[in-house]
Amino acid sequence: MSGTQRKIIKKGTKVSVVQKHHQRSGDLTQGIVKDILTNSANHPHGIKVRLESGIVGRVKQIH
């Protein structure tokens, strides 16, 4: 499932995100959502979140 809509991402959801410095390579990092940082209802590149590990990135997949 794609991570472009804010309403389907909740705190505690397991997701894969791409970090800013990995956008070209597309390397994904998995983790649990701690905070949702994007305020708009949707974003074409993915909703920005902070994982419990402190990593910030845009959601590419929801598990």
Closest among 25, 27, 29 to 53, alpha carbons compared: 29
Q: Where are the domains of the chain?
A: 6-62
Q: What is the pLDDT of residue 2?
A: 86
Rounded distance, CA 51 to CA 32, Å?
5
pLDDT in tens, the chain (63 residues): 789 999 999 999 999 999 999 999 999 999 999 999 999 999 999 999 999 999 999 999 999
pTM above 0.85, yes or no: yes
Q: What is the pLDDT of residue 19?
A: 98
Q: What is the pLDDT of residue 1?
A: 78
The architecture in CATH of the region 6-62 reads Roll (2.30)
Rounded distance, CA 52 to CA 17, Å?
12
